[in-house]
């Protein structure tokens, strides 16, 4: 592809909304793409950080034109996060309130981002099916009916969703690729992206193969490939995959589907960062993994396009967090058959937050708060000498009449527990139960070397992942 000799720059604008769309395209050059060339459209470059900016603007403007959304109204939507961010960006720029219903499996970065932008965020269960009163779309529709001036966006059945991609995304891809696209890969969340782009490419006379990237656990790949829903299950990837076909999705436009396991999606997106320098979100991992499968299956050179749907900065606590991946059973550590299999944060790897006996209680408590833990192993000269938990600090706070400042200045050694509940890493799971019965955490040693902590939740998580 030709490269412009000079950058093409736009004049300053008075609104972020003017910057939605016209996102750049980059070719993958350091990952094996077989005989093909793979191009990524960087939708994270939208002002709201994702491809959903396009549909938010389209759906809100359509609702205004049709009289559904009036001045002072409230935009209500069910969203996995990115549509909510986009609706909040566009809605607040236009003077509307925004209420969002979000499944509780979404990353905390997205939720914090939404609340910081002023959205009213309501969390709901992610373990219930479509039709259940706590399912996020059902709850959002109910709330919209209860709020005066409320408008339920319903991205899953909103014609302006796919229309945004017919109008903008499809033409941009066609132009950027010089009218030469052999395959286009996308997922289905609401269905608007793959439907709208496919509609445009077919209307432009393209012979592009439309490929669905679907998480394992979503039923959609089965419907595309076999005409029947695939096995339903859980998955950690956010924003794509469904247990039903959204009204916005035109399945008949799709030629082929790949079911991508979480582990493959996450490995792909992390490889993308390491080799290409692109920080992408979890759904992008699913899309790119499917695109790579398609590319490597080809026997002659072809050109494939997919998206970086959003930035990986929204998933630092998940996809790019080794401890979280281990908690989900997606880590790289091999199963060794002893208690270390239950420890996702190992001291030898620097994953355990610890204190020293001479540290102040103030610094220890702040360490607990910033890392969201309730106890700290106390390490001196590389050896475990105690443990400090919140109750130990509370006890010190009530022992004498000195000032709070002086109490918090006391050393950890003055409050820590020295009578330790240790187990050897080679002991059986049953050795943990007596400790948990006494409301203790297990301090695991390998000889005299500290390995890590095991709490009740670690045992439950291990049993759940290894049924």
Say how far apart CA 393 and CA 389 lie, in whole Å.
Answer: 7
Any bridge partners for residue 121, and if so which? 100
Catalytic residue status for 283: yes
Say how far apart CA 389 and CA 440 lie, in whole Å.
Answer: 10
Is the pLDDT assigned to residue 1 strictly greater than 50?
A: no
What's the pLDDT tens digit per position in 390-449?
Answer: 888 888 876 666 777 888 889 999 999 998 889 999 999 888 998 888 888 889 999 989
Which of 107, 162, 218, 283 is the catalytic position? 283
What's the pLDDT tens digit per position in 264-275?
Answer: 999 999 999 999
Which ranges of 339-455 would DSSP assign to H, the alpha helix? 361-371, 390-397, 404-409, 433-437
Q: Are 120 and 99 in contact (CB under 8 A)?
A: yes
Angle at 269 between CA 265 and CA 273, to 5 degrees: 165
Question: Which of 384 and 465 is assigned the larger pLDDT?
Answer: 384
Q: How does DSSP classify residue 16?
A: G
Choose among 79, 51, 237, 73: nearest CA to 155. 79
Q: Are 121 and 80 in contact (CB under 8 A)?
A: no
Which ranges of 21-126 would DSSP assign to H, the alpha helix? 52-66, 82-93, 108-116
Q: Please, is 16 exposed, middle or buried when counting C-beta atoms within 10 Å of its C-beta (0-12, 13-18, 19+)?
A: middle
What are the tokens at 299? Answer: 């026997």
Q: Nearest 5°: phi and psi at 384?
A: -75, 120
Q: Nearest 5°: phi and psi at 290?
A: -65, -40
Which of 41, 52, 318, 346 is the catalytic position? 52
Residue range 298-316: average pLDDT? 95
What is the residue-averaged pLDDT of the chain? 91
Q: Which residues contact 262 (CB under 8 A, 6 or more apart)?
A: 215, 216, 235, 236, 237, 328, 330
Measured CA distances, 164 to 4, 46, 61, 63, 288 (Å): 27, 14, 11, 13, 22
Say how far apart CA 277 and CA 250 lie, in whole Å.
Answer: 34
Q: Are 353 and 374 in contact (CB under 8 A)?
A: no
What pTM, to 2 d.p., does this model score? Answer: 0.82
Is the pLDDT assigned to residue 331 strictly greater than 80?
A: no
371 band by pLDDT with thresholds 50, 70 and 90: confident
- What pLDDT score does 4 carry? 53
Helical (H) or strand (E) element with 307 = strand 303-308
Measured CA distances, 128 to 50, 134, 178, 222, 237 (Å): 26, 7, 45, 21, 17
């Amino acid at each position: 592809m030709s490269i412009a000799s000079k950058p093409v720059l736009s004049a300053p604008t008075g609104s972020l909304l003017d910057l939605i769309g016209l996102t750049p395209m980059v070719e993958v050059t350091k990952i094996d793409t077989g005989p093909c060339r793979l191009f990524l459209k960087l939708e994270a470059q939208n002002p709201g950080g994702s491809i959903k900016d396009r549909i938010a603007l389209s759906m809100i403007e359509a609702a205004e034109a049709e009289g559904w959304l009036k001045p002072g109204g409230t935009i209500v939507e069910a969203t996995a996060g990115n549509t909510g961010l986009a609706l909040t960006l566009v809605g607040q720029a236009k003077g509307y309130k925004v209420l969002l219903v979000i499944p509780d499996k979404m990353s905390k970065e997205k939720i914090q981002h939404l609340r910081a932008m002023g959205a009213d965020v309501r969390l709901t269960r992610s373990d219930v099916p479509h039709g259940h009163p706590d399912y996020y779309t059902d709850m959002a529709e109910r709330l919209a009916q209860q709020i005066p001036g409320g408008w339920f966006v319903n991205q899953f059945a909103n014609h302006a969703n796919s229309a945004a991609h017919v109008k903008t995304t499809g033409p941009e891809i066609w132009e950027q690729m010089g009218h030469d696209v052999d395959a286009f890969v996308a997922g289905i969340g609401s269905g608007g992206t793959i439907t709208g782009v496919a509609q445009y490419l077919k209307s432009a006379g393209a012979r592009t193969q439309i490929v669905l990237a679907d998480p394992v656990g979503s039923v959609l790949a089965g419907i595309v490939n076999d005409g029947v829903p695939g096995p339903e299950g859980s998955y950690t990837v956010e924003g794509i995959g469904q247990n039903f076909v959204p009204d916005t999705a035109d399945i008949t436009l799709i030629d082929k589907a790949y079911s991508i396991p979480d582990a493959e999606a996450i490995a792909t997106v992390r490889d993308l960062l390491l080799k290409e320098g692109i920080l992408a979100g979890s759904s992008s991992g699913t899309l790119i993994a499917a695109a790579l499968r398609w590319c490597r299956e080809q026997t002659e050179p072809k050109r494939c396009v997919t998206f970086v749907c959003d930035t990986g900065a929204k998933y630092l606590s998940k996809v790019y967090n080794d401890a979280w991946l281990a908690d989900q059973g997606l880590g790289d550590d091999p199963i060794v058959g002893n208690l270390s299999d239950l420890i996702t944060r190992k001291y030898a790897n620097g994953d355990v937050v610890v204190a020293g006996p001479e540290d102040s209680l103030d610094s220890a408590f702040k360490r607990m708060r910033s890392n969201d833990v309730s106890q700290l192993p106390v390490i001196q000269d590389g050896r475990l000498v105690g443990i400090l938990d919140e109750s130990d600090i509370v006890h010190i706070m009530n022992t004498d009449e000195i000032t709070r400042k002086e109490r918090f200045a006391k050393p950890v050694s003055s409050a820590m527990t020295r009578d330790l509940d240790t187990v050897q890493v080679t002991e059986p799971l049953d050795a943990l139960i007596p400790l948990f019965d006494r409301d203790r955490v297990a301090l695991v040693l390998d000889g005299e070397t500290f390995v890590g902590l095991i709490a009740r939740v670690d045992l439950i998580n291990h049993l759940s992942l290894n049924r």
